[in-house]
């Protein structure tokens, strides 16, 4: 039976550990890509500069702030494409649109109405203001931001810190993420996990986790 989190013979799930981007928040970069295409920029596009591995790790571990990261990205991208005016491209990135999939929250509540919803995300120092701006900050009972923790998914220390802070037992949680690397790490840590793809798969996972 849906919503029954204490039925005899079922596992008591007390915490839903969920990723943010790709599960709840979906980014739309079509405008950015359209502008770059019109300017014939294919290699060294802005997102490749933003998510360059070492730079990204610095910002999501809290070594540098979100504003410093954006400044570095702006400077690097402008230097690479010094023959064009990159201001419009940078602005389109800063103002990138996104949608919030409230259906994911609804499914969490439908199957486990009493469970705490715990956000596990690799994010910058701007996370809390972003969540408040999207009006979803209060939908989480706990928020674990890698830039505040000093470690990132899929590092085992990340999951250890979350477990230590909450004090859960592994069979009391389910974990949802859209990254196979993070899912593999969570599985190795002993968490019942789902590689998120769509609502149908999430419904099946939540239903089966009740047994």
Mean pLDDT of the chain: 93
∠57-186-192 over CA atoms, to 5°?
150
Assess whether pLDDT exceeds 80 at residue 4: no
State residue 155 phi and psi, 5-degree precision: -60, 135
Burial level of 173, CB count in 10 A (0-12/13-18/19+)? buried
Q: pLDDT at residue 113 above 50? A: yes
Instruction: Look at residue 163 and tell me whether its pLDDT is greater than 50.
Output: yes
pLDDT at 44: 76
Domains assigned to the chain: 15-27+98-208 (3.40.50.1000), 30-95 (1.10.150)
Quick: pLDDT tens for 7-56: 444 568 999 999 999 999 999 998 998 998 898 887 779 999 999 999 99
Within a 10 A sphere around the Cβ of 2, how many other Cβ atoms? 13
Per-residue pLDDT, 42? 76
Mean pLDDT of 193-201: 98
Distance CA 11, CA 115 (A): 12
Q: What is the pLDDT of residues 70-90, one digit of tens each?
A: 999 999 999 999 988 899 999
Percentage, residues of the chain above pLDDT 90: 84
Give CA–CA dist 11/19, Å, rounded. Answer: 22
Which of 2-16, 118-132, 194-208 has the least mean pLDDT? Answer: 2-16
**Which residue is listed with tokens 């715990």?**
118
Mean pLDDT score, 127-154: 98
> What SS3 class is residue 53?
helix
Cα–Cα distance between 144 and 147 in angstroms, integer?
Answer: 9
Q: In 10 A of CB 112, how many CB atoms?
A: 23
> What is the reported pLDDT for 11?
63
Give the model's pLDDT for residue 116.
Answer: 98
Is the bond preceding 154 in cis, omega lying within 30 degrees of 0? yes
């Amino acid at each position: 039976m849906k919503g029954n989190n204490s039925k005899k013979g079922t596992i008591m799930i007390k915490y839903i550990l969920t990723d943010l981007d790709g599960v709840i928040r979906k980014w739309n970069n079509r405008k950015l890509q359209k502008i770059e295409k019109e300017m014939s920029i294919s290699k060294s596009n802005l997102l490749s500069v933003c998510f360059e591995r070492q730079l990204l790790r610095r910002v999501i571990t809290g070594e540098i702030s979100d504003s410093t990261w954006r400044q570095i990205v702006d400077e690097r991208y402008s230097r690479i494409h010094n023959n064009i005016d990159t201001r419009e491209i940078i602005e389109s990135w800063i103002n990138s649109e996104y949608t919030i999939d409230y259906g994911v929250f609804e499914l969490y509540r439908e199957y486990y109405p009493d469970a705490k919803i715990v956000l596990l995300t690799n994010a910058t120092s701007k996370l809390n203001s972003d969540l408040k701006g999207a009006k979803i900050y209060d939908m989480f009972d706990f928020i674990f931001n890698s830039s505040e923790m000093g470690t990132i998914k899929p590092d085992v220390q990340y999951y250890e810190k979350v477990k230590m802070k909450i004090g859960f037992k592994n069979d009391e949680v389910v974990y949802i993420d859209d990254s196979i690397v993070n899912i593999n790490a969570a599985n190795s840590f002993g968490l019942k996990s789902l590689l998120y793809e769509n609502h149908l798969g999430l419904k099946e996972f939540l239903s089966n986790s009740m047994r």
